[in-house]
A and B are shown apart, each in its own frame.
Chain A
Amino acid sequence: MCLSIPSKVVKINEDKTMCTVDTMGVQRDANLMMMADDEVKVGDYVLLHIGFVMNKIDEEEALASIATYKEILELMDEEERKRAILEDDECPARGEQYAEELETDGRA
């Protein structure tokens, strides 16, 4: 029953009971009567459910969570790198393997 794709308000009707929203390129009408007067403005992002605007999407919070995700990813990547280096260091076969590589390279 629930769609959680955000929509952007592109137009508000004169009587403020309806608005037009854009959901990933698709335009449709949505009912505004569940929101307080003047709470929603053109340009706001909103959450729709069965034809109604349920609430606004807080832009700062949305961007903040995306930023958190990016941070986690970067952290992970760094950890991953560290882990790879560590594992490499601990590998008992490392020396031999390296020597072999050099050999086949014809440099030893």
Chain B
Amino acid sequence: MAGLELNNLYDDFRDGKTLQAYARIIAEDAAKLERPINIMEVCGGHTHSIMKFGIPQMMPENVNFIHGPGCPVCIMPKERIDHAYVLAMQPDVILVTLGDMIKVPGSNGSLQDARAKGADVRFVYSPMECIKIAQENPEKKVIFFAIGFETTTPMTAVLLDQVIKQNITNILFHINHVTVPEVMVELIDSRDIHVDSYNNKIDAFLGPSHVSVIAGSKIYEKFPKDYGRPVVVSGFEPVDVMEGISMIVKQFVEKRCELEIQYKRVVTYEGNLNAQKLIETYFDKVDLFRWRGLGNVPESGLKLKDGYAKYDAEVIYRDVLPIAEIEDHKLCICGDILRGMAKPPECTIFGTACKPTTPIGSCMVSSEGACAAYYKYGNLITS
């Protein structure tokens, strides 16, 4: 057998002809459907691929997408961003975070604004860079503002593991890790309530691939079983997404309701057990985590275990951190978008007052947010 070639993986999973071939298979199967189906892609990585490669235009009329809450930046409520801002403004603190977090507006401004006011806010590619920053600044406290789903939680755990093993005393953590299955339950419940007004309940899920690389496909088992919603864990490449959709449509045609893995090349039922062990060592579930636009979702967030409180910035800076819940700008409909009840162009300030350069809501900030994806690739969308 010929070995694996990088360009195989890269080109073949983006091949236009294969996409078209899948589009035809989907169309043929969808013709046998008794009613239209709505597929929610939970993850922003999928939304991005779907928009970038024009997948909605390849779908038959009776297969619809509902964009999910998908991205750790998009779901961060303002009060957590305010925490980051307040921490960054503390004397002798270096606030470190990942990705697009730095641009998300909080109620006092974004982390970028904090930086403009003199705060030391740093954006890193990997959490491990905190160690170097801490070593270079022994007189300062480095606070890692940790974000992300199951995907990035073990990286934060590795960092803490190293902090303890290397006896580093100036790294603290502000934990904002959230978990996907809990919010999927919340979405099903809240949409079922609204189903009359929106008439498009979630029929199936395209499961986030990277979450399952770590947590395994097992975390979605209850959805086909207890909620009657098939889940297909799919990769991010456009051909992966098309195959995943095709697998979902086939399930409906054949009247099956199962958990399947499309992304078998990296995802297993069990996931990365070593990473799961790291998470269990350092994290506990919180009773409630407030998601932006979605409200309180039971057991959907993580915090450091009590035994590690001395590394927990939320405990140490308890007195200065605001506790009020803060709502979004009243024109911003990110909440509905994150629930899949509205599409970005339905927002009255989409593309006008709110653009990637001047974002009002975080769905426009994050490159994986639905508003940003529509803004960037929306001209490809005809309907």
Contacts and interface: CB of A to CB of B under 8 A. Distances in A.
A49 B99 CA distance: 12
A66 B210 CA distance: 20
Contacts of A35: 272, 274
A54 B272 contact: yes
Interface stretch (B12-20, B75-83, B337-345): B12-20
Interface string A15-53: 000000011100000010111100100000101011110
Contact of B237 (A4, A39, A45): A4
B22 A72 contact: yes
A79 B9 CA distance: 26
Label chain B's interface by main secondary structure. helix
Interface string B259-278: 00000111000001111001
A1 B71 contact: yes
Contact of A59 (B3, B126, B209, B273): B3
A5 interface: yes
A73 interface: yes
A95 B274 CA distance: 70
Contact of B158 (A8, A33, A64): A33
A2 B151 contact: yes
B4 A59 contact: yes
Most B C-beta atoms less than 10 A away, residue of A4, A45, A69: A4
Label chain A's interface by main secondary structure. mixed
Interface residues of B, number: 59
Interface in A55-72: 55-59, 61-66, 69, 72
Contact of B264 (A45, A52, A58, A75): A58
A50 B98 contact: yes
Interface in B9-46: 9-10, 12-13, 15, 17-18, 21-22, 24-25, 43-45
Contacts of A49: 151-152, 155, 210
Contact of A4 (B8, B21, B209, B264): B209
Contact of B265 (A1, A31, A54, A61): A61
Interface residues of A, number: 38
B161 to A, nearest CB: 7
B210 A2 contact: yes
B213 A47 contact: yes
A65 B266 CA distance: 12
A1 B72 contact: yes
B9 A6 contact: yes
Contact of B18 (A8, A50, A69): A69
Contacts of B278: 34
A84 interface: no
Nearest to A56: B266
A54 B6 contact: no
B1 interface: yes
B162 to A, nearest CB: 8
Given A34-B154, A66-B12, A76 B266 contact: no
21 contacts: A1-B71, A2-B45, A4-B209, A4-B235, A33-B158, A35-B274, A49-B151, A50-B98, A50-B126, A51-B155, A52-B154, A54-B214, A55-B213, A55-B272, A57-B4, A57-B266, A63-B1, A65-B265, A66-B13, A73-B17, A76-B24
Interface of A: 1-2, 4-6, 8, 22-24, 31, 33-36, 39, 45, 47, 49-52, 54-59, 61-66, 69, 72-73, 75-76
Interface of B: 1-4, 6-10, 12-13, 15, 17-18, 21-22, 24-25, 43-45, 71-73, 98-100, 125-129, 148, 151-152, 154-155, 158, 161-162, 209-210, 213-214, 235-237, 239, 243, 264-266, 272-275, 278, 366, 368
Going nearest first, the 9 A-B pairs with the smallest beta carbon separation are A51-B126, A61-B265, A62-B265, A36-B274, A61-B264, A76-B21, A4-B236, A2-B45, A33-B158
